[in-house]
Amino acid sequence: MTQTTPLAQRIQQFYDTSSPLWERTWGEHMHHGFYGHDGRHRKDRRQAQIDLMEELLRWADVSSAQTILDVGCGIGGSTLYLAKKFDAQAVGITLSPVQAKRAGERAAEQGVALQAWENFDDTHEPAVQFQVTNALSTPFPDGSFDFIWSMESGEHMPDKQGFLRECYRLLKPGGTFLMATWCHRPTHTLAGPLTSSEQNHLDLLYDLYHLPYVISLNDYSDLATTVGFNNIKLADWSRQVEFFWQDVVRSAMDLNVVAGILQAGSETIRGTAAIALMTTGFNRGLIRYGILRGSK
Ligand SMILES: C[S@@+](CC[C@H](N)C(=O)[O-])C[C@H]1O[C@@H](n2cnc3c(N)ncnc32)[C@H](O)[C@@H]1O
């Protein structure tokens, strides 16, 4: 696979090959954890990942949902968690067929019904569907979901405005969109535009994680306003989540994990190298963890 391979295909292959190892080593959630508002609470990594979801829901004031879209669902960690928490019906979309298949197996293992989204009803029984669908162009009718959740998938989107526009289209009037995504630092402040050293740092990360580019949280806010979202709320939770990478590094020291990384092949080895870029990126204030809520 080279840089001339289309982005969606590179993302698909990255997650097809790395997801089984990630699940074995780090579990069903492929996202950061929450270590307290001061970032200092040390806790089990998986608990930190659950806490991040709960803190996000509280921050966004989401206490119920009936139909949910999980954009970039991985192996369905959040999809299943949210469907069960809210007795909701949820669709998870991903570019990776391996992830969609595994997510469906995990639903069956947890006794959550698999149900086609066309048949979602008002039963208040948790049900899920997982499918390979590009978030930039989905088959769902306008206003299909009352809650749209995007956990660390926005950074992969080559058309950020198109991504937000599609989420807005899919949201029911009165519904909530909640996203957590990797950003770069703001550039409208005294710090000014990104320096060439910062840009080089990001370019390496883009290459290793198959990201087209990231933007600042303020840029996301402007785009969200442009596509029609209202009631927009923003926060930078870099401090709250950055300890996650130290924990990932610690677990990657395990010999079995190293063997798994080597077995999974070059894509996963490259992805592992990116851990160092994330750690230093947070340290120098370049990489930021942005969260955004919007309503329709
Ligand atoms: C870092 S993983 C996060 C997975 C999941 N949200 C979680 O927290 O466990 C990024 C996910 O975004 C998905 N993704 C990236 N670009 C996408 C796109 N254009 N359409 C749909 N899914 C996409 C990937 O397939 C992958 O499942």
The contacts of residue 140 (CB under 8 Å, 6+ apart) are: 69, 91, 117, 170
Q: pLDDT tens, 152-201? A: 999 999 999 999 999 999 999 999 999 999 999 999 988 899 999 999 99
* Domain boundaries defined on the chain: 7-295
Q: Is the pLDDT of residue 263 over 90?
A: no
What pLDDT, on a 0 to 100 scale, did the predictor assign at position 1?
A: 58
Of 107, 109, 118, 115, the closest CA to residue 81 belongs to 107
The confidence score (pLDDT) of residue 164 equals: 98
Report how far apart, in Å, the C-alpha atoms of 47 and of each of 26, 31, 62 are.
11, 12, 20
What percentage of the chain exceeds 90 in pLDDT? 78
Distance 153 CA to ligand 1 centre (A): 5
1-15, 126-140, 160-174: segment of lowest average pLDDT:
1-15
**pLDDT value at residue 268:** 60
Please write the tens of the pLDDT for every residue from 134-150: 999 999 999 999 999 99
Average the pLDDT over 49-70 and give the result: 98
If pLDDT is split at 50, 70 and 90, which confidence band does 63 have?
A: very high
Mutate to test the pocket of ligand 1, among 153, 155, 209 (most ligand atoms within 8 A of CB): 153
**What CATH number does the domain located at 7-295 have?**
3.40.50.150
The interaxial angle of helices 7-26 and 266-283, nearest 10 deg, is 80
Residue 156 CB less than 6 A away from ligand 1? yes
Quote the ligand 1 centre to 134 CA distance (angstroms). 10
| pLDDT for 245 | 85
- Look up residue 162 and give its two tokens: 């198109």
Model pLDDT, residue 25: 80
pTM given for the model? 0.94
- Mutate which of 22, 156, 267 for ligand 1? The one with the most ligand atoms within 8 Å of its CB, which is 156
Q: Which atom of ligand 1 is nearest to the CA of 94?
A: 22
Please give the pLDDT value at position 21. Answer: 84
Confidence of residue 296 (pLDDT cuts 50, 70, 90): very high
Burial group, residue 22, by CB count within 10 angstroms (0-12, 13-18, 19+): buried
In the reported structure, the alpha carbon of residue 185 is separated from the centroid of ligand 1 by a whole-number distance in angstroms of: 22
Whose alpha carbon is nearest atom 16 of ligand 1?
156
Q: Pick from 7, 11, 78, 81 the residue to mutate for probing ligand 1's pocket: most ligand atoms within 8 Å of its CB.
A: 11
Least confident among 61-65, 97-101, 228-232, 246-250: 246-250
Q: Is 93 in the pocket of ligand 1 (CB under 6 A)?
A: yes
Position in ligand 1 atom list of the atom nearest CA 95: 25
Higher pLDDT, 202 or 124: 202
Residue 96 CA to ligand 1 center (angstroms) comes to: 8
Q: How many other CB atoms are found less than 10 A from the CB of residue 258?
A: 12
Question: Ligand 1 center to residue 259 CA distance, Å?
Answer: 25
Residue 72 beta carbon below 6 angstroms from any ligand 1 atom:
yes
CA distance 47 to 36: 12
Tell me what the mean pLDDT of segment 89-100 comes to. 98
